[in-house]
Structure 1
Amino acid sequence: MFKRKLTALDYHAQNDFNIDDERQFRSLIVWLEDQKIRHYKIEDRESLRNISSPDWLNHFTQYYSDLVAPDFKKREEQLDWLLAFAIRLEYSDNADKYKGQTSDNVKKNLSNAPKVVSENPLDNLDFEAEEFKKGVRNLAQLLNVAQHPDHLITLSAMSKVITQRLSAEALENPDSVIIKGTPFPVQEADLGFDTGDYVLNQAAKVLRLLHIHELRDLQTKINECIVSVQASTANPKTDTRLGKVGF
């Protein structure tokens, strides 16, 4: 939540700052006072700089009060105010530098910035181009995938089909992915409740079956994890010389 303000202040640990880390928090407060706020004289900052002192929180409370800051109780609120205050001071000290930074100038600077050329051909595709949409439709017909008005949703559906049915494992063992058995009678199934609308009832049945399928898939993965853990923990080696079982 503080990354944007820390970036604006050019703080060196803007990406790694963790307010729950006491040392990081105290170091940031010292940095703000030394580099941006400068409310105290240099000689009066010693107690604040001693971040290992057991009385540091008392010194911080006094410092926060001396700034005539709002009566915030939570550390997150106090730090957010201090960062905003430091940004305000930074702008005041460099008003001439920042007042010319209009949105048009920022866009101009971005347009003049060097462009990074990606080696991944997919990054250069125009997913809204008519030629791309036509390719999606043709591939959907080839894979016998129902087409959605949004071609990107159709593309997502085809991705699932290719991943599940056309992977190397599936091609080597087609029986593992071919659905067998009698189709489930969705229309005859009991929904358990009534929405008052036939179409909504049918849609709810489909959603319920999809949810059950996801739960079964989750349970299968949980079972695989349990089996894997048991294979590692339930096969102790016995050393008769030690007279005990285990490693």
Structure 2
Amino acid sequence: MRYALQWLRSLVFVGQMYLAMAVLGIVFLPWALFSTRGARMACKTYCRWVRWTARWMVGLRTEVRGTPPADEVLIAAKHQSFLDIILIFGSVPAGKFIMKRELMWAPVIGQYALRIGCVPVDRGKRSQAIGRMVEDVAKGRQEPGQLIIYAQGTRVAPGVKRPYKVGAGVLYNETGQTCVPAATNVGVFWPRKGIYRKPGLAVVEFLPEIPPGLSRQAFMQRLERDVEEASDRLMREAGFEPGGC
């Protein structure tokens, strides 16, 4: 009975979340069309709305730990669900995601993502995708911001091990920027697929910076170690044992 009630609450929450996306997209559209600031304000308003409604509708509290970067840096993050996008973008001044090109055609999300400076890349042949990624990022650096890449290239469920893609290392070397790793446990409460949202405390944690200048191999090894160890710690804090899957 308790599960059924929580599932019903989750269904209502998910429905209003997408309705709010459409409403805010329309309300902010005139400003967003002519101003990156307007588009960014719309996205940040949506992030606050989702966090607020998640708390009282499904009992899912959210927390951002560490120091969100304000400088022009590379953020290499763990990706478990849509919620970590909300938490990361909502906590930095001018986040810009490396995103799959298919998302350009998603209603509201695609249009606003392009307006705030997100960089769409093809995921076909890896070498071509990386080359285009570097080229697009270089062109997109006209406006300062925090470039966000999901280091494993896709959403990864809690407890599942996936290799870290070389794209994060390429961007680290090509941009010459400091990298701020980010760990999370949000997938314990907000899964990759499905309606059910589990109550609890979902966390994104910004970890100590990785300074520029490391070799690609050394950077990738440190990034994976830091993010995986911190994410495992956060998942255990949430009552999930990563090694149990």
Length-normalised TM-score, structure 1: 0.20
Higher RCO (C-alpha under 8 Å, 6+ residues apart):
2
Question: Which protein is richer in strand relative to its size?
Answer: 2
Question: Which protein is richer in helix relative to its size?
Answer: 1
Structure showing greater Rg: 1
